[in-house]
Amino acid sequence: MSKSVKKCAAATAVLSVMSAGLLTGCGGDSGGGSGEAGNTSGQKAVRMDKKIHDSLPKKIKDAGRMTVVMNGSSLPYWKSTPGKEGQYTGVGAELMQALGQVMGVKVNHVAIPDISAAVASVSSKRYAFAFAPYGDSVGGENERPGVEFVDVVQEVVPFLVEKGNPKKVSSLDGLCGNKLAAQVNGGAYERAVEQAKKCKSKGKPKLDIVGVTGVPNGILAVRSKRADAFFSSGAPLFHAEAQSGGRLEVVGEEAANGFDGLFQGAVLPKDSELTQPVLKGFEKLFADGTYERIMKKAGLEREILDKPGVNLYSKWLAKHEG
């Protein structure tokens, strides 16, 4: 499907701090809450692919399971299950469940809402990989060495505002004099800080940055009027709009907002032996229709990719900025 080139730079929008580390199998399950992914969505089971299973790192095959880092409750990708610690529903949970079925291993989840802490947990070899999904920065100005991505969605980074957009938010350039919420340590936050400096240098009204941890807190900042807008990846913002009962809306999705070519997916160390099994697993889910069904069920048609790929942002850069 065709995509607008006005897309946001993945890791910059969601994950701009990365470091390398060798991925392991199951790792510890303490801290942040973890647990097995159950078939709580009622989705059809996917058959194991023996070639993909056999290509897994020995540590994961021997354990028969792997633990994946995610960012906690962040709809539409992740929603915690009341009374069942570490169990989640949502697009992310369904995709990881299906990927585990293809690989022939069980998938546990550990929730680490803070981006820096999530990355550190993967870099310290405690968990298999991370999937929120996180943003791809390889080849960009905020690239971190030793990291690669298996990208499965393409995103925009707009603004969530009160219905009617009373502050007339449309792009970063027009936000001087407003209060803008963004996730601390994320690329959107960095772009907001850069814009605040521009407002000051041009003698315009101050842009106040409201730092938040996690998407739910960003949404709450707008609803409680602590912020005039929340700047983040589109999927959770469009979901928040749909669930707000007409109180919130998404604006500025066509503005560049300091980003181009936003791809998101799983984050792994460069040249990880798990990268190809993850890629091949997603390729199967794309080919058999599982991926499209899960995405469309959650209203994520605009985020669908034709096919998954490794480091798609760097390839996008080569094509559009070469």
Share of the chain above pLDDT 90, in %: 53
What is the band of 42 on the pLDDT scale with cuts at 50, 70, 90?
low
pTM of structure: 0.75
**So where are the chain's domains?**
17-151+267-303, 159-251
Q: What per-residue string of b and e applies to 271-286 under the rule 16 or more CB within 10 Å gives b? A: ebbbbebbbbbbbbbb
DSSP string, 256-270: -TT---EEEEEEEET
Q: Measured between alpha carbons, how far apart are the two ends of the chain, in Å?
A: 22
What is the band of 215 on the pLDDT scale with cuts at 50, 70, 90?
confident
Q: Which CATH superfamily is domain 159-251 in?
A: Periplasmic binding protein-like II (3.40.190.10)
| Mean pLDDT across 222-249 | 94
- d(CA 173, CA 176) in angstroms, rounded, equals 7
Q: What would be the CATH architecture of the domain defined by 17-151+267-303? A: 3-Layer(aba) Sandwich (3.40)
pLDDT at 279: 98
